[in-house]
Amino acid sequence: MRKIIIAGNWKMYKTQTHALEFLQVFKSKLNETEELKEVVLCVPFTVLSIVSKNLHGGTIRLGAQNIHWEEQGAYTGEISGTMLQDIGVQYVIVGHSERRQYFGETDETVNLRLLAAQKVGLTPILCVGETKQQRDTHQTELVIINQLNVDLSNVDQDNLVIAYEPIWAIGTGETCAPVEANSTIALIRSELANPEVTIQYGGSVKPDNIDELMKQPEIDGVLVGGASLDPVSFARIVNYS
């Protein structure tokens, strides 16, 4: 049985005060989650500690937004898997399109980060997806297969989450039609050695489209940016019906 994972990606938002305010409201709005549904908050490094302390062993898991591939060393500004694990992190986003686009991350370094996360027992959430131009020129399949080939080299598929995030749908309000997301996710699954990997959809997920997205048989959860910043809207997404 594939695990359902609803993850929020706060990106570069929220101070400690705002994180605490979020948690207070969010926790009060959560329905009892079934054992198979996991909720993850991927927060900035600067609030990992305070969020970790305020989860109180509940059902919410802590996630980071990036990881360096070395355990320690002279890498100014970077954070290692050991450091993340030390602070209570269980999940880490790897290869988000914003990292690839603005910070020059390549499939090769994405692969190194995935391996580093698994080495210390973290579960990586690998993001893949095509640009608008690639989609318009019918290259979606090719782009995703190429990403997976390099990204997943030697990666343990028993401890992995994949997020299909079409870049044209991220932060644009333009959601990929649930049926289209479903078929691209089916394609991703067909490329995997382990068909039980949880595969999420990400890109302008909101309270008003979550129910339809989650009805799709291949979609095992969502990775939510903008709508995860507001506790009421993120709770509505987690409590999808």
List of residues contacting ligand PGA (CB under 6 A): 9, 165, 170-171, 202-205, 223-227
> Is 68 tagged catalytic?
no
**19 or 167: whose CB is closer to ligand PGA?**
167
Min. distance of Cβ 74 from ligand PGA in angstroms?
Answer: 30
Min. distance of Cβ 144 from ligand PGA in angstroms?
Answer: 16
Options 38, 96, 105, 130, the catalytic residue: 96
CB 162 within 8 A of CB 128: yes
The string of DSSP letters for 131-193 reads -HHHHHTT-HHHHHHHHHHHHTTT--TTS-EEEE--GGGTTSS-PPPHHHHHHHHHHHHHT-S
**195 or 237: whose CB is closer to ligand PGA?**
237
**122 or 170: whose CB is closer to ligand PGA?**
170
CB 165 within 8 A of CB 199: no
Min. distance of Cβ 57 from ligand PGA in angstroms?
Answer: 26
Min. distance of Cβ 196 from ligand PGA in angstroms?
Answer: 23
59 burial level (CB within 10 Å; 0-12, 13-18, 19+) = middle
Instruction: State the residue number with the nearest CB to ligand PGA.
Output: 225
**158 or 174: whose CB is closer to ligand PGA?**
174
Other CB atoms closer than 10 Å to residue 174's CB: what's the count?
12
Sign of torsion over alpha carbons 199, 205, 210, 215: negative
> Is 56 tagged catalytic?
no
CB 40 within 8 A of CB 221: no
Options 38, 98, 130, 165, the catalytic residue: 165
Query: Number of C-alpha atoms within 13 angstroms, CB side, residue 31?
Result: 10
Which of the residues are catalytic?
A: 96, 165
